[in-house]
Amino acid sequence: MPPEVATFLRALAATDIHPWLMGGWATELLSAQIRPHDDTDLFVALNDVPRLAPLLSELGFTLVHGSLADDAFYRHGELLLNLTPIDDAVSPPRTLGSLAAIVWPSDLLAGQAVVWDGIPMQSLTPAALIAMKRCVSEFYNVPLREKDEWDIAALGRLT
């Protein structure tokens, strides 16, 4: 794990913000199959979003794209964080802004406990990660990327 990710996740835990790890890092933690990563993807509960911006600023992250009202990318050094607010108080859970039209599975955030570099957190389950990748591909009306197909194959062996 990049050091900036560890610092960020420890700061989140200290402020009682518990995101859901998704994407490539979640796949790697669950399947133990390693591949390169462009960013670190997290769902963040909508109720936790107001506390995120000050924390990110305090830790030296800079907003590079989007907003926490929708889907935001923050950078610190070589680390790119993709933070996606999600309303976990409704079923199915709902993302906001440009991603509001995505219909997520009702059990998307069921979560699976993982420990990443000594930091306990929750990840999407293998089945939820597969569903997420397919929902995003369908939403954008694009074929799955090669890395997504690889992730789905690795996760499929776990379900």
For strands 62-66 and 119-123, give the pairing.
Answer: unpaired
Give residue 37's pLDDT.
85
A 10 A CB-CB count for 84 gives: 21
- pLDDT tens string 57-82: 999 999 999 998 889 999 998 889 99
Give residue 116's pLDDT.
84
More confident residue, 93 or 34: 93
| DSSP code per residue over 62-95 | EEEEE-TTS-EEEEETTEEEEEEEEETTSSS-EE
- Residue 105: beta bridge partners? none
Model's pTM, two decimal places?
0.91
Confidence class for position 132, pLDDT limits 50, 70, 90: very high
Give residue 8's pLDDT.
87
- In terms of CATH architecture, what is 3-156? 2-Layer Sandwich (3.30)
Confidence class for position 36, pLDDT limits 50, 70, 90: confident
* Extents of the domains making up the chain: 3-156
Give residue 49's pLDDT.
92
